[in-house]
Amino acid sequence: MHLRDLDIIITAPPAPGWGGRYWILVKLTTDDGITGWGECYATSIGAQAMRTVIEDVFARHMEGENPENIELMFRRVYSSGFTQRPDLTVIGAWSGLEIACWDILGKARDRPVWALLGGRMNDRVRGYTYLYPLPHHDMAGFWTGPDMAAESAADCIARGYTAVKFDPAGPYTLRGGHMPGMRDIDLSVRFCEAVRDVVEDRADLLFGTHGQFSTAGAIRLAKALEPYDPLWFEEPVPPDNVGALAQVAAATSIPVATGERLCTKAEFAPILRGGAAAILQPALGRAGGIWEGKKIAAMAEVYNAQMAPHLYAGPIEWAANIHLAASIPNLLMCECIETPFHDALIGGTIRVEEGFVSPPEAPGLGIDVDENLARAHPWRGDGLHLEMQEAPCDYARGNAFQGGAPAEA
């Protein structure tokens, strides 16, 4: 069995576009006709440029190889160009291709991927979700509306979720770490208060940030949030600044989580060594794929840290997350996105039920990808999957982060 063909589909989820502006799906086929699906989550270059990178990684390091040889192919990619260091774009391309290899291997052996990763440790995977607007909510006002967030949280609890995430403390700006404005701190506190009042002890609060604060600013915000006992404070400072992240972790009772922007075990290891986070959130479509995710989980286990695989993408990366989650002993939970498009793209083969996900029993990733549906929604824009704003923090009028909703239709 050898890898023969590669196909790439860049699909744009219909509005409101939860999961990003587009998803990069890859399909590999072996010389004996087995197909495998993966998803790439690298976002720092345009979609068409990324297509070229994926094609190059496949042709240079994978074509004609046995898909079993994942370690060998990873070392080829990791060493490409005399580097042997994390490269977000190249490893992002590899990550989706690697997931597709696992899908092939499971199908070839008529076993689910989790069975090839050491077996099933967890019969159910605890899910969590962002708070998204309900149909009657004002989209623009939702992200700064604690009462609407509380209504959304009540809906999530009614559907069985035991953890919900929100991030009202924006902005995410390319200018570097800033001190949060008093309006941002006040809004963050009001969100925590409103959501906690609704969920009471039935759910954990997950407070999302994305590296936008200075060290002192992150600590200041954390102190304001501590009375509401969030389960985590997500990436309060840039994750590559391990010392700053560790300072924040040492200064607050809220566990620090990070990982969606980190790439390979080489970037996760310093986080663990430095005591910078208690919860790791790898995005498998960026961090190196399923096997690299398994290694990251093993490192985390040694440091008594837990895993919460990240998802702001399509359902193929989600499927990979679920298989990894099923196989590890130090799982906390997995991020979930429930939209009709997510569900339809994989034929409803994986679903959240009462706040939990049951690992698939079908071979490979256990999903039925609707290739025609994916091709019927091509991405034609020139924006990136997600983007930070150039404008600085507004201390006079306040700030609003639009929850990852794409500005383009």
Residue 274 pLDDT > 70: yes
Q: What's the mean pLDDT in 94-108?
A: 98
State the maximum Cα–Cα separation within the chain, in Å, rounded to a whole number. 63
Q: For residue 49, give both structure tokens.
A: 């440029």
Residue 353 pLDDT > 70: yes
Nearest to 41 by CA among 324, 308, 287: 287
How many residues comprise the chain? 409
pTM over 0.95: yes
pLDDT-derived band of residue 15, with 50, 70 and 90 as boundaries? confident
- Sorted by where each starts, the structural domains of the chain and their CATH numbers stand as 116-364 (3.20.20.120)
What percentage of the chain has pLDDT greater than the value 90?
92
Q: What is the pLDDT of residues 252-264, one digit of tens each?
A: 999 999 999 999 9
Phi, psi of 292 (to 5 degrees): -65, -35
Q: In DSSP terms, which residues pair with 127 in a beta bridge?
A: 334
pLDDT-derived band of residue 406, with 50, 70 and 90 as boundaries? very low
Distance, in Å, from the CA atom of 228 to the CA atom of 231, rounded to the nearest integer, reads: 9
What's the pLDDT at 402?
A: 74
Q: Which of 192-196, 263-267, 280-284, 392-396 has the lowest mean pLDDT?
A: 392-396
Residue 407 pLDDT > 50: no
Distance, in Å, from the CA atom of 334 to the CA atom of 318, rounded to the nearest integer, reads: 9
Between helix 315-327 and helix 88-109 the angle, nearest 10°, is: 70
pLDDT-derived band of residue 388, with 50, 70 and 90 as boundaries? confident
pLDDT-derived band of residue 43, with 50, 70 and 90 as boundaries? confident
